Amino acid sequence: MPKLLPLLFLLACAPLHAQVYKWVDAAGNVQYSDQPPASTKGTKKLSVDPQPSTAPVNKESTPKAAKSMADKEMEFRKRRVESEEAQAKQAKADADAKVRQQNCAQARGQLRSLQEGRRIVKYNDAGERVFLDDQARPEETARAQKSVDDWCK
């Protein structure tokens, strides 16, 4: 029995060192075999890598795995920060759009009041009410139209 063990070991390792040959036959088909063809013209000898081992993880690979997890954690945090920044940017854009919409509605209301001929009241530097007269109305209407154009794009 002890003499059979080395023989079994050699037989198990034999396929790991087998050669593979590749050639094109007369019909133009690519052929692969562990034995070379009769004609050696156009035959290529291929190297075969042994199957990867399924050995347990050793101490040297553990830091790489830990580093990989650390890298994954950093990437996750980076994506989360980017997502939060994008959400904050979107919230700011939404708030700006809401303010813009309110200012547009207010500017349109002011322009409508001027065009309908309603009495418009302004306050002077002393804080006194002053009514808009007919000569100032076209100038104020143009200013209100510009405001509408600016806010209601």
Interval 14-69: pLDDT, tens: 555 567 878 788 888 888 787 778 776 777 777 666 565 555 555 555 556 667 88
State the average pLDDT for the chain.
80
Share of the chain above pLDDT 70, in %: 74
Q: Where in the chain are the domains?
A: 18-45+74-151
| pTM of structure | 0.46
End-to-end CA separation in angstroms for the chain: 94
Q: Higher-confidence residue: 44 or 114?
A: 114
What is the predicted pLDDT for the residue at 48? Answer: 64
Instruction: Using alpha carbons, list the distances in angstroms from residue 86 to 8, 89, 92, 93, 108.
Output: 64, 5, 10, 10, 33
Q: Which residue has the higher pLDDT, 131 or 41?
A: 131
Q: Which residues contact 23 (CB under 8 A, 6 or more apart)?
A: 30, 31, 36, 37, 42, 43, 44
101 band by pLDDT with thresholds 50, 70 and 90: very high
Which of 63, 150, 51 minimizes the C-alpha distance to 100? 150
User: What residues does 46 pair with on adjacent strands?
Assistant: 20
pLDDT for 51 equals 61
